[in-house]
Amino acid sequence: MKHYKSGFSLRSLHFSLRFVVPLAIALVLLAFAVVPLVDKLTLRWAVRDMDIRSSLIANTLHDPLAELLQHENKVKINSLLFRTIQDERLLALGFCDSNGKLIYRTSTFPESLGCSSVVSQDKASSSLRRLPQGAVHVAVHPMGNNGSLILIHDMSFVERRSADTRKYVIVFFALLGIVISVITVFVAHLSWRGWMDGVRAMLRGEGILRPFSQPAVASELQPLVGDLRSLLRTLDAERRFADDATITWSPDSLRKLLHQQLAGERIIVVSNREPYIHSKKDGEIQVHRPASGLVTAVEPVMRACSGTWVAHGGGSADRETVDSHDRVRVPPNSQEYNLRRIWLTKEEEEGYYYGFANEGLWPLCHIAHVRPIFRTSDWREYVRINQRFADAVVKESDSENPVVLVQDYHFALLPEMIRRALPKATIITFWHIPWPNPESFGICPWREELLKGMLGSTILGFHTPYHCKNFLETVDRYLETRIEHESSTISRRGQLTMVESYPISIQWPPPWQGTLPPVEQTRYEMLAALGLPAGHLLGIGVDRMDYTKGILERFTAVERMLELHPELVGHFTLIQIAAPSRSALEEYQSFEARVHALAERINRRFSREGCQAIILKAEHHEPEEVNRYYRSAQVCMVTSLHDGMNLVAKEFVAARDDEQGVLVLSQFTGAAHELHESLIVNPYHVEQTAEALHQALTMPEYEQQERMRSMRAMVRDFNVYRWAGRMLLDAARIRQRERLAVRIGDNS
């Protein structure tokens, strides 16, 4: 116990010294700066005082002295001068005639001073002189044609006053330092004690399971406490799942979590885009996965957890492959979960998908300078289709409290609809695109309805804390709710919704890892297939044909890079994979035409000997084929103008098991908050992006390896299973809290 107390005292002393020592140093430096200033001010005031005294004495002596000088009465003149210097500060008086000769003076007049040295012109003047007996103030008062009166004051009192002032200043700063140190240390210790009490309370679990409890610490520390509480919630949940804090997130760990924390619940996923599309080609049914970041992220989770995926069936052979309940087992080879398809008419798809979702919500949430369009007819279809999906979820549920994962902006109304039908359901909604600020979201005519629909969720997830903050502020602006920023929760009509950031990721390791040839061989085969010479430099861009992805800005940066570095003309090619998207919309048709036109113009300028500057592949590519491009390229360019996460960046990193290659990444993606070793650019700044591309193409291998190794470790540790696991752990905690509340209510 004594050892603990002595250790605490020592830590307390160190804590105090952190405040006192810098304060003492600052006060000492300030004192050294102030003392010379005080000396100058003291001297200035003293000189001004002497000037005033000299002028007063000279004016007093002027008339009697002038009369005596006229009568040349030396005895009375000397007597007058002697009586005058009885003033304790007036050292001596003298009189110089018009020829500059000292004809009258007191016995105290310094020998070293003469008329020629003090009388320079026929007007009043003063000066400070340093004599053997000390500093003196010399003032000259003209007396017309008779001469000049010289007044000499002793200034030694100024030095004594300055010495006293320095002592007072030093004593003042010393006392000030002591008082400030005592107050600072006292307040710091009180704040530290309050903060530590709050942390201990959180470590004991207080306030974590009760989000509306009274804060345990001072209000000025609430932002820090909120961040700490969020971190503690994550650590606490992960520690409850495993004995050690280092969990290897994998399909097995995710399945184990479901059985331990959610009693083996099967998950229902709802999205507009289906994970597998059946289409007819040449009379045969083919299966492929769509170009979708959502599918890339969620599909591995479904394969690990099993359950049912509810989605819109839009493939030309989708109806032929389902059973009588509109279900089909997928993936085709392993059949690990059910795909339940919802059918839409062309008019419904036009209104719900192309209209409200992609002409309204998509540009509303993306700052890409495209005006959102809202039509009442589109809104009606959006409401109707959301209700149709809600009915399908109820039918697919085999219990009254299923775990439902609602995906993206197509289903903002769905959570509340499911909640009405299944009040005990655990609904996790993940918003895959950015959430705008309240002013931007206020453009939507049905903003309140959308927010109310989303608040039917148990958990509402976004990619970044910034998007969460925007959503909380939007709800605060437009709805009557109770928002607890500290616990990031919203309460509306007895329904509690937790708003959290869950940065989405990809499967690790990729399913095709180990099945492809080495990078060098892949690159050699790729260059041969493209008709490019060995050693040719490749860049890769993989996107949907969408105006938010910055494809035009990327092409312009390539053009500028080739202008600035002509030695790379004919030696570098950007391969742009741009899967067609929403081609029925006029805005997308116009954008695709601009992309093709810009690529053709740049190729006309910079193509050399059959080597094009840009190879545009505006067609769908299977994931395995895209992976070959990732492995072949020296650089991957992600230049989104506004994006949620953008999994292309993480896919490129995961593909590079050779730890080579460079990622050029837009600062407006969620991935930029995680992949710090990428070359982060502002895609609107063409020259900056062009220079980053050149830097990537000329980066030494050792630097590429250092950057890529760090990014691969991040993607490996924070994979898609961890993303899903965190949401499911939070869901399990909330379900446990709700069961506990019901049990307490029954007992009471």
Average pLDDT over residues 130-150: 80
* Amino acid symbol at 418: I
pTM score, whole prediction = 0.67
d(CA 372, CA 332): 39
d(CA 102, CA 82): 16
Q: What b/e sequence results for 470-491 when a residue is b if at least 16 CB atoms lie within 10 Å of its CB, and e otherwise?
A: bbbbbbeebeebebbbbbbbbe
Task: Give me the pLDDT at residue 524, please.
Answer: 94
What is the per-residue pLDDT across 263-306, written as a single tens digit (0 to 9) for each? 667 789 999 999 999 998 877 888 888 767 678 788 888 888 88
Beta-carbon contacts of 214 under 8 Å, excluding residues fewer than 6 positions away, are none
Q: What b/e sequence results for 217-255 when a residue is b if at least 16 CB atoms lie within 10 Å of its CB, and e otherwise?
A: beeebeeebbebbbebbeebbbeebeeeeebebbbebbe
Q: What angle do CA 173, 176, 182 make, to 5 degrees?
A: 140
* Domains of the chain, residue spans: 25-162, 253-343+399-501, 519-717
Average pLDDT over residues 242-264: 69
What is the per-residue pLDDT across 385-440, written as a single tens digit (0 to 9) for each? 999 999 999 999 988 889 999 999 999 999 999 999 999 999 999 999 999 999 99
Of residues 103 and 558, more confidently modeled = 558
pLDDT over threshold 80, residue 4 = no
* Amino acid symbol at 255: R
CATH superfamily label, 253-343+399-501: Glycogen Phosphorylase B; (3.40.50.2000)
pLDDT over threshold 70, residue 311 = yes
Task: Give me the pLDDT at residue 231, please.
Answer: 56
pLDDT over threshold 70, residue 254 = yes
Say if residues 683 and 689 touch (Cβ distance below 8 Å). Answer: yes
- Token pair of 743 as six digits: 């049990």
Average pLDDT over residues 354-376: 92
Of residues 111 and 339, more confidently modeled = 339
Q: What pairing do the DSSP bridges indicate for beta strands 102-105 and 90-96?
A: antiparallel
CATH topology of domain 519-717: Rossmann fold (3.40.50)
- Confirm or reject CATH 3.30.450.20 for domain 25-162, answering yes or no: yes
Domains 25-162 and 519-717 share a fold: no
Q: What b/e sequence results for 429-441 when a residue is b if at least 16 CB atoms lie within 10 Å of its CB, and e otherwise?
A: bbbbbbbbebebb
Average pLDDT over residues 37-44: 77
Q: What pairing do the DSSP bridges indicate for beta strands 572-579 and 537-544?
A: parallel
Q: What is the DSSP letter of 567?
A: G
- Residue 711: which of 657, 646, 668, 667 has the closest Cα? 657
pLDDT over threshold 70, residue 638 = yes
Task: Give me the pLDDT at residue 122, please.
Answer: 53
- Residue 538: pLDDT band (50, 70, 90) is very high
Say if residues 613 and 574 touch (Cβ distance below 8 Å). Answer: yes
Beta-carbon contacts of 7 under 8 Å, excluding residues fewer than 6 positions away, are none
CA distance readout (Å), 219 to 194, 200, 215, 226, 468: 11, 17, 8, 11, 21
- Residue 151: pLDDT band (50, 70, 90) is confident
Task: Give me the pLDDT at residue 325, please.
Answer: 92
Per mean pLDDT, which range of 189-198, 477-486, 531-540, 643-652 is the poorest?
Answer: 189-198
Beta-carbon contacts of 519 under 8 Å, excluding residues fewer than 6 positions away, are 631, 632, 656, 657, 658, 660
Task: Give me the pLDDT at residue 378, please.
Answer: 96
Residue whose structure tokens are 């030695």: 567
